[in-house]
Amino acid sequence: MPSGYSSGRSSIEREIAANSMRFYEDWLADLVDNAKHLSKDKLHVESFARLSALNGVISVVSASFDPESRKFLLEAQNDAVLSHVGATFGSWRLSLQSLRSFAENSLCALYYVSHPIELKLWERGKYRIGFRDLAKFMSSHPDLEGYDCAVSSVNDLEKEYAELSKAVHGSAKTFRMTDSVSDILLWDRANGKFGKWTTRQRNTISCVVVILLALFDKSFQGAQHLEIRRSLNFVLSATKAKLVSDQIKINIPKVR
C-alpha cells in the first residue's frame, strides 16, 4: 500500500490506495501484452537496426566533443532509445515526442561544440536557441559546404521537427492517442500506427546521421569503421547512401 495510506486511515483514502494499486496492475499488464505483440513486428527489428547504426556513428564522433557539449549528444542518443522503447509498447505520442527531442539535442550538440560562450550562458540559464535558428546555423555551416546531401538533410530535419511538434502539442489528428473525448489510451497497438511512427523515425535518424557523417567525414573515410559503415544501409535509402558515397566520399559496403 502506498506511503501515507494505511489501513487506519479514512475509507476514502483506503479506496484510493486500492484503486491506485489496481490501476498500476492493469496498465502494467497491458504494457507487457502490447510489448510482446509489437516486438514480433518486423518494423521493431528494423527500428532497432537503425538505432544500432546511429549508436555506432555516435560512438565514433563523440570523442570530438568537449564534455559539456557531449552531454547534448548523449541525451540525443538516449532520446532515440526512448522513442524506440515507447514504440515497442505502442505509446506513439511519447515516442514522437522523444524523437523530436532527439532532433533538437542533436543540433544543440553540434551548435554548442563550436559556441563555448553560449554554452556557458546556457548553463547559467541566460541563453537559449530555438530549433529554427539551430537549423539556420547548420545549413550555413562551413564544414557542410559542397555537401549538398547534408544541407538537404538539415532542411529535411527542420520539416520533420515541425511535423513532430504536432505530436508534442496534440494538434494533429494523426498523432492523437485517443479516438474520442471519453477514451483514455496510454498506448495503442492498432495496425498502421507502427508504420506511421517508423516513417518519422527513419527520416529523422537518417537526417542526423548524414549531418554527422559530413561534419566528421575523415573519421569514416577509407577503411575505417567498416562494420559501422555497413550498418548505414539500415538507416539510409539507396539514393541517400549513393549521395554520401559520391559527395562525402564515405563508402557504404553492402550488407552480406
From first to last of the 256 residues of the chain, give the pLDDT tens digit: 455 545 557 888 888 888 888 887 877 777 777 777 767 778 889 999 999 999 999 999 999 999 999 999 999 999 999 999 988 888 888 999 999 999 999 999 999 999 999 999 999 999 999 999 999 999 999 999 999 999 999 999 999 999 999 877 654 555 454 444 435 565 666 667 888 899 999 999 999 999 999 999 999 999 999 999 999 999 999 999 999 999 999 999 988 7
Cell (9 digits) for 107: 543540433
* Cα–Cα nearest to 111, from 162, 68, 78, 158: 68
User: Using an 8 Å Cβ cutoff, are 232 and 241 in contact?
Assistant: yes
CB neighbour list of residue 92: distance below 8 Å, 6 or more residues apart: 86, 167, 175, 177, 187, 188, 193, 196, 197
Q: What is the pLDDT of residue 183?
A: 57
Q: Which amino acid is present at 211?
A: I
Domain boundaries, the chain: 41-248
User: Using an 8 Å Cβ cutoff, are 215 and 138 in contact?
Assistant: no
CB neighbour list of residue 235: distance below 8 Å, 6 or more residues apart: 50, 53, 54, 202, 205, 206, 209
Task: Please measure the distance between the N-terminal and C-terminal CA atoms of the chain and give it in whole angstroms.
Answer: 55
Vertex 229: Cα angle to 225 and 234 (nearest 5): 145
Q: What is the pLDDT of residue 178?
A: 47
From residue 150, alpha-carbon distances to 36, 212, 248 in Å are 37, 9, 9
User: Using an 8 Å Cβ cutoff, are 154 and 206 in contact?
Assistant: no
Q: What is the pLDDT of residue 133?
A: 98
Q: What is the pLDDT of residue 181?
A: 41
d(CA 103, CA 160): 9
One-letter-per-residue 3-state SS of the chain: CCCCCCCCCCHHHHHHHHHHHHHHHHHHHHHHHHHHHHCCCHHHHHHHHHHHHHHHHHHHHHHHCCHHHHHHHHHHHHHHHHHHHHHHCCCHHHHHHHHHHHHHHHHHHHHHCCCHHHHHHHHCCCCCCCHHHHHHHHHCCHHHCCCHHHHHHHHHHHHHHHHHHHHHHCCCHHHCCCCCCCCCCCCCCCCCHHHHHHHHHHHHHHHHHHHHHHHCHHHCCCCCCHHHHHHHHHCCCHHHHHHHHHHHCCCCCCCC
